[in-house]
Amino acid sequence: MNPFKRSPFVIAAAVFVYTFLYAPILILILYSFNASRTNVTFDGFIPAFSERVEMDGSLVKASPCGPFHWYCDLAKNDDVIEAAGNTLTIAFTATLIATIIGTMAALALQRYDFKIKPFSQLSLYIPIVIPEIVMGIGILTLFSQAFGWLNNAFNLTGDARLALGIGTVTVSHIAFMVPFVTLVVQARLQGFDKSFEEAAMDLGANEWTTFRRVTFPMILPGVLSGALLAFTLSLDDFVITFFTNGPGSTTLPIYVYGLLRRIITPQVNALSTVWILIVFIAVLLLQWLQSREAKPAH
């Protein structure tokens, strides 16, 4: 059998799968340059800036953005900028905390034996397998009861009163991201050779120095993989965020949902295209960091 020979059926199947996966994204990007304002049908590309005119009441003015008209609208939209800032703030904060907690949990589950270890291992799968809407309702109920009790117990009023906001969304994201990070890092620890740690301790290193100089660099690709997964989950989450967000904590998925409830415009496609680009750059950056860490030292 020739390992370099490709069956036409395999090639056709690969083309079908990749087309099925990426055709919607390409269509989304294409429609972000749609000249129509309703985005129901494709009426052609937005003309160049010299041909483009816009009605602003009784005033007719030329658009300097040309085909990037909808992208210019996004840059001028304060609500979009605020939603993007909230999304990135929540994602970075939740990813950092979830990665730290998940890495420590993976080390504990992999290396130590304790009475509730089987239950702890099993409980990691619960936030993953249960429907997000169930988890969102549960977290909302928890926050509502806890905040109500604390506000009444400490007589909190006005700005000091506890309410839903960016903090509750961040905590909610951490809650469902920790299991993903833990399982990814734990998988990395499965083939970990403890002889490296033992050699470091024989040379006089204490436990913290051994972890910092030996253990952590060796498991860093797994930690980065878990962080990348957590970061993308936080960026894309809608259901849990919908239940736990409050005034001033609108994220991009919630903002896009609000736009879709009125009418689908090319602005929605342009916003989605920009967000895909941001996620793609983040994935490339983390892949580069992983490949850099995986290279043997000379």
Dist CA 282 CA 269 (whole Å): 20
The 10s digit of each residue's pLDDT in 251-281 is: 988 888 887 777 677 778 888 888 888 878 8
Tell me, what amino acid is at 273? T
CB 192 within 8 A of CB 219: yes
According to the model, what pLDDT value does residue 55 have?
Answer: 44
In this predicted structure, the answer to whether residue 159 has a pLDDT above a threshold of 80 is no
Q: Select the highest-mean-pLDDT range: 43-47, 95-99, 161-165, 274-278.
A: 95-99
Helix 266-294 with 69-76: angle, nearest 10 deg:
80
CB 256 within 8 A of CB 173: no
Domain range annotation of the chain:
77-262
pTM of the model: 0.80
According to the model, what pLDDT value does residue 69 have?
Answer: 62
The 10s digit of each residue's pLDDT in 112-124 is: 888 888 888 888 8
The 10s digit of each residue's pLDDT in 190-226 is: 877 788 888 888 888 888 888 888 888 888 888 988 9
Distance of CA 298 to the CA centre of its chain: 35
Task: Find the mean pLDDT for residues 68-82.
Answer: 72
In this predicted structure, the answer to whether residue 287 has a pLDDT above a threshold of 80 is no
CATH of segment(s) 77-262: 1.10.3720.10
Task: Find the mean pLDDT for residues 50-77.
Answer: 55
- Calculate the average pLDDT of the chain: 81
Higher pLDDT, 250 or 159: 250
In this predicted structure, the answer to whether residue 233 has a pLDDT above a threshold of 70 is yes
Q: 266, exposed or middle or buried, with CB in 10 Å at 0-12, 13-18, 19+?
A: buried
According to the model, what pLDDT value does residue 166 have?
Answer: 92
Higher pLDDT, 93 or 210: 93
According to the model, what pLDDT value does residue 4 have?
Answer: 61
Dist CA 5 CA 34 (whole Å): 42
CB 82 within 8 A of CB 250: yes
Task: Find the mean pLDDT for residues 155-164.
Answer: 83
According to the model, what pLDDT value does residue 53 have?
Answer: 46
- In sequence order, the β-bridge partners of residue 54 are 61
The 10s digit of each residue's pLDDT in 2-22 is: 666 677 888 888 899 999 988
According to the model, what pLDDT value does residue 189 have?
Answer: 86
According to the model, what pLDDT value does residue 59 have?
Answer: 40
Task: Find the mean pLDDT for residues 46-71.
Answer: 52
Q: How large a percentage of the chain has pLDDT more than 90?
A: 23
Categorize the per-residue pLDDT at 44 as very low, low, confident or very high, splitting at 50, 70 and 90. low
- In sequence order, the β-bridge partners of residue 56 are 59
Largest CA distance in the chain: 82
Categorize the per-residue pLDDT at 51 as very low, low, confident or very high, splitting at 50, 70 and 90. very low
